[in-house]
Amino acid sequence: MAPRALVVGGTSGIGLALARHIAAAPEAIITVCGRTKPANLPSNISFSPIQATSMRAIKQWTDNFKETLTGNQINMLILSQGTSNFTGRDETNEGIDRKMALHYYGRQLIVRELNPVLKQDAKVLFILNGKEGSPAHINWDDLDLKKSYSTSTAAQQSATMLDIMAQHYAAKQKGSGRRHYAHVYPGGVLTGLTRAWPWYMRAAVGVVGPLIAVKPETCAERLLGNLDKVTSEREKDGYFWSNINSDGSLIRDKAVWSESQRECLAEHTWRTIESAL
C-alpha cells in the first residue's frame, strides 16, 4: 500500500527528514506543514502552511485539509512541531503557553480533528521525549502549569501528558480500530531548534553537538527502519501504544496509566482546547 503521510512540523529537522525518508517509497504521497516551505522538496511532498501555536488556526487548517481527502486516507500522522527556548511562560492570545501549545495541546487537537481521515491501521507518532514521562513528572493540580510553570516542568509535563494520551487513544479504539500511537524519544539530533538559544550555548553546541548528536536523516532512518517491527510485536501482546527510543527500539517499563487518570487528562485537554476555539 502506498504511504499517505502527514507530517506536522515537517518543514525542518526531524520532521522533514522523516518526510523525505517516507517519500522514497514508491507512490508515496506526503504533506508537510509548518510556517515556512522547505526548499527543494521532492515532487511527491506538498507543503501546507499552519500556525501550530493557535488552536483556532489548527481547527481551520484541519477542516480545510479534510476537504481535500476522500475517506480514510492517512496511514501515518507524524507530529513533530516544537520549539526549544529558555523563556518563561509565554501565553498566546488564546491563553495557552506557546511551548505547551506546540508540544501538547495543538497535537491533541490535530489527532482529534483528523480521526475521521485516519486509516484503521494508521500509525500516529508524537515526536518529543518518550523517555521522560513518568508519574513523578505530572502536576495533576496544575495541568496547564498556570501556577507552577518553568522550562523544565513544562518539558516534563508535556512529555508525561503525551504518554498518557497515547494510551488513552489506544484504549478508546472500538470495533476494527487497530491504530498504533507511539511517543518517540529522538535523542540528540542536530536541528535548527537551537537558533533560539543564547549565542554562547549555540557556540557550545556547534563544537560538542557533532560528537554527541546525530543528523536528522540518521534519526529518521533508525525510527522508520524499526517502526513496523516494534509496533507489530507490541500489537501481538495486545498493546496499541508504544514508547520508542532514539535507536528505534522499544522503551520498556513505562508507566501504565489507569482509566481514571486517562479520562481526567482527556477532560482537561478538551476543556482547555474548547475554551481557546
Entry pTM? 0.91
Torsion angle, CA of 232/233/237/239, rounded to 10 degrees? -60
Is residue 37 within 8 Å of residue 47, measured between CB atoms?
Answer: yes
Distance CA 230, CA 225 (A): 10
pLDDT tens digits for range 178-221: 999 999 999 876 655 445 544 334 444 443 444 446 788 999 99
Residue type, 246: S
Cell 524519544 locates to 185
In contact, 32 and 16? CB cutoff 8 Å: yes
Question: pLDDT, tens digit, for every residue of 122-181?
Answer: 999 999 999 999 999 999 999 999 999 999 999 999 999 999 999 999 999 977 779 999
Q: What is the pLDDT of residue 191?
A: 59
What's the average model confidence in pLDDT over 262-276?
99
Give the whole-angstrom CA distance, residue 114 versus residue 108: 10
C-alpha cell at 179: 491504530
Q: Which domains does the chain have, with CATH numbers?
A: 4-276 (3.40.50.720)
Question: What is the four-CA torsion angle of 77, 250, 239, 15, rounded to 10 degrees?
Answer: -10
Could you tell me which of 271, 186, 254, 263 has the C-alpha nearest to residue 222?
A: 186
Sign of the alpha-carbon torsion through 88, 91, 97, 98: negative
Beta bridge partners of 67: none
